[in-house]
Structure 1
Amino acid sequence: MANLIKKLAASKPVWQMTGLTYPTAVRATTGRFMSKDDYLISGKDEMSVFSRYINEDKSVLEFGCGMGRNLFGIAGKIREGYGIDVNPHYIKLANKITLKYNFKNLHFLRYDGANFPNIPIVDIILEKSVFERLNKPLVERYVKKLTELLTDGGIIILFFLMERAEGTEITKLLGDSAYVFWNNEEIEQLLKSMNLDIVEVLHTKDADYYICRKPESSKEITQF
């Protein structure tokens, strides 16, 4: 019975249905209920660790934005923000919050997991808590696509659930089998294959953030 409950909780239909209302969505994505005002404040707290990479000249794309908390947290500090997610209910809620708080520089779009919506090239890309549920070949394909959406010299921030998270509280509800764990060697090989330069690695209890830069394109000098 316990295994059945875990499978149901981890299933895509159940996960999508959590977005039908704000209370169920905020509990599913943060672990507790909070008001919309507090939700926005929590976004500022979540993104404060990346503040040195963010300024008013930058455009940002969040891959797997959920209800938009991270983008709401930096809306006043960036030029333009784009959030994409495969859960249409989360995108609908994100757009409602955007209207409520008049975030004119934020845009939330649904995608089907394969075909990205029409998004301009951006300066910063953020992925948080998405890759932990995806197989590694699929992660590789997504990183490649995201890198193509990043301007030369741009920053990409990638979240990886590490092997040290196995058997811990973070995986208790769904079980270890619902997650994909990484080690540093695998991540470094992936980033090297994408020609991304590691700028910084931020360690948390269960995961690492790899902050990388896409190199400037080498431009050939035409001889006349």
Structure 2
Amino acid sequence: MQRALVIEDDAVTANEIVAELDLHGLSAEWVANGEDGLNRASSAEYDIITLDRMLPGMDGIDVVAALRDRGVDTPVLMISALSDVDERVRGLRAGGDDYLTKPFAPDEMSARVEVLLRRRQPQARSVLRVADLELDLVTHAANRAGQELPLQPTEYRLLEFLMRHAGQVLTRTMIFEHVWGFHFDPGTNVIDVHIGRLRRKIDQPGQSSLIRTIRGSGYVIAPAD
């Protein structure tokens, strides 16, 4: 569940925001002043922050500026009764991502939150990493600790499947049907052969083993304990 932080000193407004965010599937937390909001936003992972412009003590402009100075890039929707252009510009230049004026319709607030969350959607990864092992999904190049690993096409598909599910135990049936594309034959040792080849390429002398056999279950790729 995505998490939201509501920084708002007015309890009625805060409850409206929290209720609307909850309706849209977000887990919302409320703090009532800027200093507490800054500390909470700096120490925990949130997907979105709604921030009142006029807060007692540390106001919203100072809060968002401090967040950006600390390297916190969580999207911030600033909410304020100050509606003139200069105030909106100040909020955006300080680090806010959007600005909503009071009074506001709850559905407009939630729509703006949805837009900011969509912008934050991560791009598809082009490189998979497990410990010091890297696999480039675009070039199909693999390396461990900077040393290039020559892979045959089937070895690449096998390694990609393992790395996409790093830390998860994959059964022989799952591996066979995904990599080879047809039903698993319990009598074949083709998976064991290819796993052995991968290990010899990936695990050089002095390096920890990344691909592990889970007896009776299958294989897993994960950093060494």
Interval of TM-score (by shorter of Structure 1 and Structure 2)? 0.3 to 0.5
**Larger relative contact order (Cα-Cα within 8 Å, sequence gap ≥ 6):** 1
Query: TM-score, with normalisation over the residues of structure 1?
Result: 0.34
Q: Structure 2 length as normaliser, TM-score?
A: 0.34
- Structure in which a larger fraction of residues adopt helix: 1
- Give the greater-gyration-radius structure (CA): 2
